[in-house]
Structure 1
Amino acid sequence: MRSNLLVLTSSFLIALLLVALVSHIVYPVNYASGEEEEYPYGGTFRVGWSETLDTLKMGQEIAWSLLGCAILSTVYEELAFMGPPPNYDEFVPMLATSWEVSEDYTTWIFHLDPKAKWHDGKPVTAGDVAFTVKYLIKVPVWNGTDTDAKEVEIIDDHTVKIVMKQPITLSVPLWWVPILPKHIWWDYRDDILSYDNKEAIGSGPFILEEWEPGKYFKLKANEDYHLGRPYIDYLIFKSYSSEDALIMALLKGEIDMIAPYALSPSAAHQIMKEGNPNVNIKIDTGDSFYWLTINLKRPGLLGDLLRNLEFRKALAYSIDKSKIAEVAFLGYADPVDVPIYKEMDYYNPNIKGYEYNVTKANKILDELGWKDIDGDGIREGPDEITDLILNLLIIGTNPYHVKIATSITEDLAKVGIKVNVVPVDDSAYWNILGGGPENIEYHLILFYEAIGPDITFALEPLLTGSWSNVGGYSNEEYDELFYNFTSQPDRSKRVKIARRMQEIMLEDLPVIYLVNPNALTAYRTDKFEGFVFGIGGAWTWFSPWTFRKVHLKPGLVEKPKPTPDYTPWIIAGVAIVVAVIAIVYAVKMRGRR
Structure 2
Amino acid sequence: MAGLKDVLCTAILISLLLPAVAEEIPVYTIADTTGDWGYPSPYLHYSRGPGYVRMSFIFDTLVWKDQNGFVPALAESWEYLEGENAYLFNLNPNVKWHDGEPFTANDVVFTINYIKDHPYQWVDSSIVDRAEKIDDHTVKIYLAKPYAPFLDQVAGTLPILPEHIYSDVTNPEDFQDPKALTGTGPFKLVDYDKAQGTYLYEANEDYYQGAPKVKQLKFVKLSSEMSGPALKRGEVDATAVPPEVADELRGSFVVLEGAHDWLAKLMINHKKEPFSDVRFRQALAYAIDREKLVEIAQRGYGVPASPGLFAPDSEWCNPDVEQYEHDPEKAGDLLKEMGYVKKGDFFEKDGNTLEVELLVTSSNERAGEIIKNDLEEAGIKVNMRSVDSKTLDNAVNEWNFDLALSGHGGMGGDPEILNRIIGEGYTFCSDRYIVNQTLNDLLDQEVAEMNPDRRKQIVKEIQLVYSQQLPSLPLYYPESFWAHNGKVDLYYTKRGIANGIPIPLNKLLFAK
So what's the TM-score if we normalise by structure 2?
0.87
AA partner of residue 53 (structure 1) = D
Quote the offset at 1:143 in angstroms.
Answer: 5.6
Contact 1:75–1:202 (Cα < 8 Å) also in 2: yes
Matched, 1:264 2:242: yes
Q: Which residue of 2 aligns with 1:416?
A: 379
Q: Tell whether the 8 Å contact from 1:231 to 1:548 is kept in structure 2 after alignment.
A: no
Kindly state the Cα deviation for residue 198 of structure 1 after the two structures are TM-superposed: 4.4
Residue 370 of structure 1 pairs with residue 340 of structure 2:
yes
- Residue 468 of structure 2 aligns to which amino acid in structure 1? E
Question: 1:157 and 1:462, CA in 2 relative to 1: closer, same or farther beyond 3 A?
Answer: same
Which of 540-549 and 62-71 deviates more? 540-549
Q: Residue in 1 aligned with 2:448?
A: 487
In the other structure, the counterpart of 2:214 is 232
Tell me, in whole angstroms, the C-alpha distance in 2 between the residues paired with 1:432 and 1:149.
31
Task: Give the residue type in structure 1 aligned to 2:175.
Answer: Y
- The residue aligned with 2:299 is 330
Instruction: Tell whether the 8 Å contact from 2:431 to 2:472 is kept in structure 1 after alignment.
Output: no
Tell me which moved more, 344-353 or 506-515: 344-353
Compared CA separation, residues 544 and 265, structure 1 to 2 (3 A): closer
SS in 2 for 1:218: strand
Give the alignment of 1:141-180 within 5 angstroms.
Answer: 142=121, 144-145=123-124, 148-172=127-151, 173-180=154-161
Q: 1:393 matched to which residue of 2? A: 359
Deviation of 1:332 (Å): 1.4
Distance apart, 1:183 and its partner CA: 2.0
Pairing 1:292-307 to 2, within 5 Å after superposition: 292-298=266-272, 303=273, 305-307=274-276
Q: Structure 1 141/359 Cα, relative in aligned 2: closer, same or farther at 3 Å? A: farther
In the TM superposition, what is the alpha-carbon distance from 1:255 to its structure 2 partner?
Answer: 0.1
Q: 1:359 aligns with which of 305, 310, 329?
A: 329
The structural deviation recorded for 1:492 is: 1.0
Q: Report the Cα distance in structure 2 between the residues aligned to 1:175 and 1:157, rounded to whole angstroms.
A: 20
2:322 and 2:468 in contact (8 A); partners too: no
Q: Secondary structure at the match of 1:253?
A: coil
* Matched residue SS, 1:380: strand
CA distance in 1, matches of 2:366, 2:89: 46
Give the superposition deviation at 1:61: 6.7
Q: Which moved more, 1:278-287 or 1:245-254?
A: 278-287
Secondary structure of the 1:114 match is coil
Secondary structure of 1:428's counterpart equals helix
Which of 538, 548, 562 is 2:508 aligned to? 548
User: Is residue 165 of structure 2 the alignment partner of residue 184 of structure 1?
Assistant: yes
- Do 2:43 and 2:173's aligned partners in 1 also have CA atoms closer than 8 Å? no
Residue aligning to 2:413: 453
Q: Deviations over 1:446-495 (max 9, x none)?
A: 23111122211134311256544345443222222222211211111111
Aligned mates of 1:104, 1:320 — CA distance in 2: 51
The offset of 1:78, in angstroms, is 0.7
Q: Deviations over 1:547-566 (max 9, x none)?
A: 433699xxxxxxxxxxxxxx
Query: Does the 8 Å contact 1:433/1:470 carry over to 2?
Result: no
What per-residue deviation string (whole Å, max 9, x for no partner) do you get for residues 526-575 of structure 1? xx1422246799998366665433699xxxxxxxxxxxxxxxxxxxxxxx
Q: Which runs of 5+ in 2 are unaligned?
A: 1-14
- Give the partner amino acid of 1:496: Q
Is 1:210 the equivalent of 2:191? yes
Decide which moves more: 445-454 or 528-537. 528-537
1:530 to 484, 489, 492: 489
User: What amino acid maps onto 2:420 in structure 1?
Assistant: E
Asked if 1:126 corresponds to 2:83, the answer is no
2:475 maps to 514
- Tell me the CA shift for residue 351 of structure 1: 2.0
Q: Distance in 2 between matches of 1:537 and 1:140?
A: 23
**Residue among 484, 499, 522 paired with 2:460:** 499
Cα-to-partner distance string for 1:119-144 (whole Å, 9 max, x where unaligned): 11111122222222222355555364
Question: Is this contact kept in 2: 1:314–1:361, CA < 8 A?
Answer: yes
Q: Distance in 1 between matches of 2:145 and 2:260?
A: 30
Does structure 1 residue 283 correspond to structure 2 residue 222?
Answer: no
CA RMSD of aligned residues (A): 3.0
Whichever residue aligns with residue 191 of structure 2, its letter is: E
Aligned to 1:346: 316
CA 1:141/1:551 → structure 2, altered by over 3 Å: closer, same or farther?
closer
Correspondence for 1:92: 71
Q: Deviations over 1:22-73 (max 9, x none)?
A: xxxxxxxxx9xx9963332233111000012263265787253333122122
Q: Are residues 291 and 212 of structure 1, via their aligned partners in 2, closer, same or farther at CA, if it must alter by over 3 Å?
A: same
Which has the higher Rg, Structure 1 or Structure 2?
A: 1
Letter in 2 for 1:37: A
2:168 aligned with 1:196, yes or no?
no
- Structure-1 separation of matches of 2:446 and 2:267: 23
Does structure 1 retain, via aligned residues, the 8 Å contact 2:105–2:137?
Answer: yes
SS at match of 1:142: coil
Hey, what's the Cα distance between the residues in 1 that align with 2:451 and 2:76?
26
For the 8 Å contact 1:206–1:220, the answer to whether it is kept is yes
Structure 1 residue 96: Cα displacement: 1.0
Tell me, yes or no, if the aligned pair for 1:463 and 1:474 is still in contact at 8 Å.
Answer: no
1:441 alignment counterpart: 400
C-alpha change, 1:139 and 1:330, in structure 2 (3 Å) is farther
Percent of residue pairs bearing the same amino acid type: 27
More displaced 10-residue stretch of structure 1: 163-172 or 490-499 = 163-172
Q: How does 1:243-254 map to 2 (within 5 A)?
A: 243-254=224-235
Question: What is the distance in 2 between the residues matched to 1:61 and 1:423?
Answer: 26
Gaps of 5+ in 1: 1-30, 553-593
Greater Cα shift, 468-477 or 222-231: 468-477
Instruction: Choose from 372, 394, 416 the match for 1:431.
Output: 394
- Tell me, yes or no, if the aligned pair for 1:285 and 1:535 is still in contact at 8 Å: no
* Segment of structure 1 superposing worse, 487-496 or 152-161: 152-161
Q: 2:115 is matched with which residue: 119, 125, 136?
A: 136
Q: How many residues align?
A: 490
Structure 1 counterpart of 2:8: none
- 8 Å Cα contact 2:37-2:50 kept in structure 1: no
| Cα distance, 1:524–1:391 mapped onto 2, change above 3 Å | same
Matched position secondary structure for 1:131: helix
Q: Which amino acid aligns with 2:347?
A: R
TM-superposed CA distance for 1:308, in Å, is 1.4
Q: Which has the larger displacement, 249-258 or 460-469?
A: 460-469
Out of 53, 68, 86, which is 2:36 matched to?
53
Task: Describe the SS at the equivalent of 1:356.
Answer: coil
| Pair 115,107 (structure 1): closer, same or farther in 2 beyond 3 Å | same
How far off its partner does 1:221 sit? 1.6
Q: Per-residue deviation at 1:520? A: 0.5
Distance change (3 Å), C-alpha of 1:59 and 1:121: closer
Q: TM-score under structure 1 normalisation?
A: 0.76
